[in-house]
Structure 1
Amino acid sequence: MADRQGILDNLIQRGAVRRLRRMAKAAPDTALPRLRRQRGWARNLKREIDELLHVADNRLALPAIGTQSFPRPHDADWAWRPEIWSGPLPVKGISSVATKSMLGREATLFHDCDRSELTLRQLRNTRQADLAAYGLRMDVFRFDGSYLSLAIDLPPEAAQGLMRRHLIRLETIVELEKPIEIFARLNIKNGPNTEQVVRELPLHESDVIVEFDLAYTKLNEKRVEKLWLDVIFEGPQMNQVILRDLTFSRRPRAEL
């Protein structure tokens, strides 16, 4: 049915184009009353065409929903963009966010505030430089807690074949209302133990990239169960933080 409708639409569009072409070609000799009617019809059609072009140009210029396209090391054996930054969530945002609240299936906010004055919201990226379809905005007003972190669960593929010779790269785009320190802590559960590697995000650099070198951990490669990342915000009160993108990739360290 959809194919038949598409064929019919194409026939109607081609017919309208042929009609316009004939009218334009005959315009020098068309009787003035008829030409006046044709001009009014053409002007009305032009308004609709301009509106369609305006909406289409804006939508087609946006990053594609669901895209996993982003720069990654040429020798990466795994790469991933979480759902918050790649596709629309059923619930776009949360206000007065309680600790352990989830936004989507992969992100959880943790804090120890007595009274939450925090909001989380997924927003559509519209900048030409954005590769991710969506971003995440966090607004923090009064903050009476001692910690605030966003935990992101990595998929099972991140743990498959993970070795101590791996480097895991985190790349993000951060916008801040005022400067704060942000840390990233990679957690790897392996058996009864959890290995942790912490890096401060270089927010003063144009490319905010950190790498977690697993060679300096005591990772038991045979017992890797899951990975998650904690994004830790220091002194976040009265601030707005936008994570325009957040991606992971994994590559083996070059043999010495």
Structure 2
Amino acid sequence: MARFRGGILKAAIFRRILRRWAKIAREASTSNLTQLRRRSNQARQLRLHLDQLIHVADSRLALPMIGSTTFRKPQGSDWSWRPELWRGPLPVPGMSAVENKSTLGSEVTLFHDCVFSELTLRQLRNTREADLAPFGLRMDVFRFDGSFLSLVIDLPPEAVQGLKRRHLIRMDTIVEMEKPLEIFARLNIRHGPNTEQIVRELPLHEEDIMVEFDLAYTKLNEKRVEKAWLDLIFEGPEMNQVVLRDLTFSRRPRAEL
């Protein structure tokens, strides 16, 4: 009750101050110069704090909200997910000279076979108006003496709960590159002693970068599905910077014919 009354009192005080400054503004053209100079100085002091508040508020409110899971999903999706790296701040936001099998957060692992690692990974805050993900991932590759480079994302248990061969699994991403390269997405689903793999090349020339994995063309044993993960494979990554502004997954059953 006290907090409610305090809120009403603050609102009343604000309205009173607002009416006072509105009246001062209306009287500016007829006030004597001494009074006008005093009020002008007061207004400038007040404007300094108001401008600072508006600047900070506009900056913070323009950013995607930390923890956001908002993104476009196909109609009929029964599961959707944005990994933690793109969703919230990590305890360790980056690393340099990244070794093979290094992890960034609990869901992303980098694999490579370089003898001398000249790779860096860093989580960055998205600030663009078009960004829905709060965070992105930047990978810098300098000299590269290996034969493969892949980023592995472990999908959560919910991704395979009730998974059927009639499902389509979709991955959407936003990619920025310093120079062109090829990126492949490989979905892996372990069922019993076997692992199904489906490979798709990312259409980096298109505005919306999306790939779908149709499980109808696999030999998936629906009763023995254990886990799933996705490999992002980078071909010819040397002397390049790749930024993954967003990475999301969704799952939907195929329409019955």
TM-score norm. by structure 2 comes to 0.92
User: Which residue of structure 1 aligns with residue 110 of structure 2?
Assistant: 109
The aligned counterpart of 2:201 is: 200
3-state secondary structure, aligned to 2:42: helix
Residue 35 of structure 1 and its aligned partner are, at CA, apart by 2.3
Q: Using the aligned pairs only, state the percent identity.
A: 70
Distance 2:247 2:95 in 1: 20
The residue number in structure 2 matching 1:244 is: 245
Distance 1:211 1:219 in 2: 16
1:128 lines up with 2:129 in the alignment: yes
Cross-structure match for 2:254? 253
Report the AA paired with residue 216 of structure 1. Answer: Y
In structure 2, distance between residues paired with 1:60 and 1:2: 30
**CA displacement at 1:93 relative to structure 2:** 1.1
Q: What residue number does 1:177 align with?
A: 178
Quick one: which amino acid aligns to residue 247 of structure 1? T
Query: What CA distance in whole angstroms lies between the structure 2 residues aligned with 1:11 and 1:34?
Result: 26
Choose 58-67 or 201-210, whichever is displaced more: 58-67
Q: Is 225-234 or 90-99 further displaced after alignment?
A: 90-99
Question: Equivalents in 2 of 1:111, 1:64: separation in Å?
Answer: 33
Post-superposition CA distance 1:70-92 (Å, at most 9, x none): 11111111111111112222221
Provide the C-alpha distance between the structure 2 equivalents of 1:69 and 1:117, rounded to a whole number of angstroms: 34
Equivalent residues, number: 256
Tell me the alpha carbon deviations over residues 40-73 of structure 1, each in whole angstroms, 9 at most, x when there is no partner.
1101211221121122112212222222111111
Residue 53 of structure 1 pairs with residue 62 of structure 2 = no
Matches within 5 A, 1:24-103: 24-103=25-104
The TM-score, its normalising length taken from structure 1, stands at: 0.93
CA distance in 2 between counterparts of 1:13 and 1:140 reads: 55
**What's the CA shift string for 1:146-182, capped at 9, x where partnerless?**
1111110111110100011111011111111011110
Unmatched 5+ residue regions in structure 1?
A: none
Q: Which moved more, 1:224-233 or 1:17-26?
A: 17-26
- Name the counterpart of 1:167: 168
Q: Please tell me the residue identity of whatever aligns with 1:165.
A: R
Distance 1:90 1:5 in 2: 41
Match for residue 156 of structure 2? 155
Q: In structure 2, do the counterparts of structure 1 residues 4 and 99 end up closer, same or farther at CA, with 3 Å as the change threshold? A: farther
Q: Give 1:34 deviation, angstroms.
A: 2.9
- Unpaired runs of 5+ residues, structure 2, are none
- Write out the 4+ residue segments of structure 1 that deviate beyond 3 Å after TM superposition: 1-6, 8-16, 25-31
What one-letter code is carried by the residue in structure 1 that aligns with 2:246?
Answer: D
Q: Which amino acid aligns with 1:17?
A: L
Q: Deviations over 1:172-229 (max 9, x none)?
A: 1111101111000111111111111111111111111111111111111111111111
CA RMSD of aligned residues (A): 2.1
